[in-house]
Amino acid sequence: MTYAGATAADAIVTRTGGVPRVPSNFEWPRCHGCAGPMQFLAQVSLADVEAGTTGLLSIFMCQNDPGLCAEWDADAGGNRAFAFGADAIYLPVPPSEGVTLLDETCGVRFETLDVENYLEAPGRWHERTGRPVGDVLGQVGGNAAWLQNDETPVCSGCARSMEFVVQLEEGHDHRTSANFGGGGCGYGFRCGPCGTAAFLWQR
């Protein structure tokens, strides 16, 4: 995933920032720690991960009191991930309080690199293109490239390990980027049969 410039805040595509596309019954998630509304970080079109698949993986994280709500943990209630179906076509009105949106909506271009581990990709891509390493926004599909230990979440419905969907970098511009502890990566997962999803980050 590489930075493809600013894009529409309501685009039905893989992007970071903007406003999420959601089902009609969606309620904006709130942090279990501070009770404030979460910040929408990204949506991933599942068709970009596996051809023929429909729906979106949407990721939210609390940024009202960064570092105090355990927003890095998949189970602590400081973040939420949703696996939406084809009915995710509506645009919600973000809550008026709290930190709910990123300051930029970034389009994504997909490029293929022959590397054994995603962590090698940003440097290789920079060598090939001459563009800044920070323009690499992450990867979809394949295997998670953990910065620490493997923390693959377990589905609360079937107790099986979830499927890796996306690894996110903080962003191309520190003024508008997500906050994964300063140089960290976010990891999004889903369980297709159960319709559940999870998110965490490491640094």
- Enter the tokens of residue 151: 């923390």
Average pLDDT, the chain: 97
Its pTM stands at 0.97
At 174-186, the pLDDT tens digits run 999 999 999 999 9
Query: What is the CA 179 to chain-centroid distance, rounded?
Result: 12
Please report the pLDDT score of residue 147 as a whole number.
Answer: 98
Please report the pLDDT score of residue 170 as a whole number.
Answer: 98
Please report the pLDDT score of residue 79 as a whole number.
Answer: 98
Q: Is 135 helix (H, G, I), strand (E, B) or coil?
A: helix
* Residue-number span of the structural domain to which 196 is assigned: 2-202
Q: Is the distance from CB of 179 to CB of 170 less than 8 angstroms?
A: yes
pLDDT band per the 50, 70, 90 thresholds, residue 4: very high
**H/E segment holding residue 129:** helix 121-129
pLDDT band per the 50, 70, 90 thresholds, residue 194: very high
Interatomic CA distance for residues 159 and 138, integer angstroms? 27
- Number of domains comprising the chain: 1
Interatomic CA distance for residues 135 and 88, integer angstroms? 28
Q: How many Å is the Cα radius of gyration of the chain?
A: 16
Q: Nearest 5 degrees, angle CA 169-CA 173-CA 174?
A: 85
Query: What is the CA 131 to chain-centroid distance, rounded?
Result: 23
Q: Is the distance from CB of 133 to CB of 99 less than 8 angstroms?
A: no
- CATH number of the domain that 177 lies in? 2.30.320.10
At 12-44, the pLDDT tens digits run 999 999 999 999 999 999 999 999 999 999 999
Task: Please compute the mean of the pLDDT values over residues 53-82 and round it to a whole number.
Answer: 97
At 108-140, the pLDDT tens digits run 999 999 999 999 999 999 999 999 999 999 999
Exposed e or buried b for every residue in 75-100, given b needs 16+ CB within 10 A?
eebbbbbbbbeeebeeebebeeebbb
